[in-house]
């Protein structure tokens, strides 16, 4: 069986280097390319025709393809062939369930150790699929209640919160998600109510504590 071609995407060079080093321990797998933005990832999928795409969930700043669920939806719609593994620190069960519904092949938690990538690739190579249940919330977050609060958010509320916390305005979030400003404002207010915060500063502090956007 020929080498399995893997394409990596993350906006942190040190993560790309670490993932490449782990994958190249096994001669069955070959990293054929790396991308540091969603647009670069889409271009390289067309050029390199990978068997597996390993991409970070959070790669802000790309207006054309976005990131998060918006990027995953685009990848599954336009490139249904490659298996997709998502790298993330997110533990929101509704978001993770939605990702699986979109057709991803697995989620690798950055906090749990990237060696799990080789487990997934080995499963792809041997069996053609990777058996993995929807991950539970991170234990560290449960200790102070943050994970429990975040788990109450809907997928749309979570995406609005994630984008807002990167420093963009409500108007920019609306443009990115192709929704009205009124809709985005309503989702943001609903998320803040569930998280028990009443101002933007408190919201950002909670996001930092949760390490939600690393």
pLDDT tens digits along 70-88: 999 999 999 999 999 999 8
Q: What pLDDT is attached to residue 40?
A: 96
Same domain, residue pair 53 and 158: no
Burial zone of 75 (CB within 10 Å; 0-12 exposed, 13-18 middle, 19+ buried): buried
End of a domain among 127, 162, 186?
127
Mean pLDDT score across all residues of the chain? 85
Q: Is 108 helix (H, G, I), strand (E, B) or coil?
A: strand
Q: What pLDDT is attached to residue 136?
A: 45
pLDDT tens digits along 142-179: 435 777 888 889 999 988 888 877 767 889 889 989 99
Q: What pLDDT is attached to residue 78?
A: 97
User: At 203, is the pLDDT very low, low, confident or very high (cuts 50, 70, 90)?
Assistant: confident
Same domain, residue pair 190 and 84: no
Same domain, residue pair 160 and 121: no
pLDDT tens digits along 121-147: 888 887 777 766 444 443 344 435 777
In the predicted structure, residue 181 carries a pLDDT above the cut 80: yes
State which residues form the domain around 205.
142-210
Same domain, residue pair 180 and 155: yes
User: At 25, is the pLDDT very low, low, confident or very high (cuts 50, 70, 90)?
Assistant: confident
């Amino acid at each position: 069986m020929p080498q399995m071609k893997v394409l990596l995407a993350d906006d942190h060079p040190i993560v790309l280097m670490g993932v490449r080093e782990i994958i190249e321990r096994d001669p069955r797998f070959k990293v054929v390319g790396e991308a540091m933005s969603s647009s670069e990832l889409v271009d390289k999928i067309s050029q390199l025709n990978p068997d597996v795409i390993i991409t970070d969930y959070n790669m802000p700043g790309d207006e054309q393809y976005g990131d998060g669920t918006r990027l995953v939806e685009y990848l599954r719609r336009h490139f249904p062939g490659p298996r997709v593994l998502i790298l993330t620190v997110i533990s929101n069960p509704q978001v993770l369930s939605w990702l699986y519904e979109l057709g991803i092949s697995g989620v690798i938690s950055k906090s749990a150790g990237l060696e799990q990538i080789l487990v997934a690739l080995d499963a792809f190579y041997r069996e053609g699929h990777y058996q993995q249940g929807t991950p539970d919330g991170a234990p560290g977050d449960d200790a102070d209640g943050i994970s429990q609060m975040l788990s109450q958010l809907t997928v749309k509320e979570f995406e609005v919160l994630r984008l807002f916390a990167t420093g963009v305005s409500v108007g920019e979030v609306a443009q990115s998600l192709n929704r009205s400003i009124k809709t985005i404002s309503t989702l943001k207010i609903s998320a803040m109510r569930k998280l028990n915060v009443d101002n933007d500063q408190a919201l950002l502090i909670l996001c930092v504590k949760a390490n939600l956007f690393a």
